[in-house]
A = this chain, B = another copy of it.
Amino acid sequence: MVELTRKQREIERRTGEILRVAKPILVREGFHALSMDRVAADMEYAKGTIYNHFPHKEEIVLALAVQSMELRRKLFEFSAAFADNSRSRMMAIGVACEFYTHHCQEDFVIEQWMRNHSVWEKSSHQRQNLIRQCEAQCMAIVSGIVRDGVAEGSLLVPAGMTNEEFVFGFWAITFGSQILTASSPSLPALGVHDPTRALRIHCATMLNGFEWRPIMNLSEYLSRSERLASDLMPRLHTLRDQHQQTQV
């Protein structure tokens, strides 16, 4: 029994190693470059062994995506508890998103691959569910903040709109901005020189537009964001490094 678990542990360890080898290939050279032969060669195992762990490379991508989504959830969990009033907590989520975009670029790239239709479709329901769960947990964290805001009386979500639909708008603008920043040929050439700052301004406008108190004017909002970011970011760095330790 003890021996069995030793072997079992050995196998689990190798699963992690496969992911560690596959991640930079996927992130830096793309899905096409990630081949089972290559992973096997890099690890000095036979290809069949890799297939014992993952039935195809799409499953490797989803396994990586599970890690990335878990990191995101951890960042959200931590950030959501970092401030006191609901609006600041929402702003802290914004900081977490900025952190994820700028300092967890690899994970962000992986999330994009995960959202690729052909990758998603081919992978196991089990891992799909893990991702869905993680997504739901992230949503629960943020919509929880909205719920608290409503309960505090500092926010009124429009009639006929769920808290989650309220969150959806912020999710969409953050996510869309990330993708455009990463994939639109040349935002600066289009006149978009500082997408991060622009995003902050738009979020501020939305928060004010929904009258989420305390209302702040723009410069107030921006300086608070800056302060929040410099307080929160070091902690997020630690969190991220811890998370990466766990993956070994």
Chain A residues in contact with chain B, CB under 8 A? 30-32, 109, 115-118, 120, 128, 131-132, 135-136, 139, 143, 158, 160-166, 168-169, 171-177, 179-180, 183-187, 189-195, 197-199, 201-202, 205-206, 208-210, 218
Contacts and interface: CB of A to CB of B under 8 A. Distances in A.
Contacts of A109: 117
A186 B187 CA distance: 31
A199 B179 CA distance: 18
A159 B138 CA distance: 34
Given A171-B180, A179-B175, A143 B32 contact: no
A180 to B, nearest CB: 6
A171 B191 CA distance: 13
Given A117-B183, A164-B190, A165-B195, 4 more contacts: A109-B117, A162-B193, A175-B179, A206-B206
Contacts of A160: 197
A110 to B, nearest CB: 12
Contacts of A132: 185-186, 189
Nearest to A174: B176
A168 B198 contact: yes
Q: Which of A109, A163, A209 has the most CB of B within 10 A?
A: A209
Contact of A191 (B139, B193, B208): B139
B32 A190 contact: no
B117 A30 contact: yes
A245 to B, nearest CB: 29
A207 B210 CA distance: 11
A118 B112 CA distance: 12
A175 B180 contact: yes
4 tightest Cβ-Cβ pairs between the two chains A and B = A176-B176, A164-B191, A209-B209, A169-B202
A235 B163 CA distance: 35
12 contacts: A109-B117, A120-B183, A132-B185, A132-B189, A158-B201, A160-B197, A165-B191, A168-B177, A171-B180, A172-B177, A175-B179, A205-B206
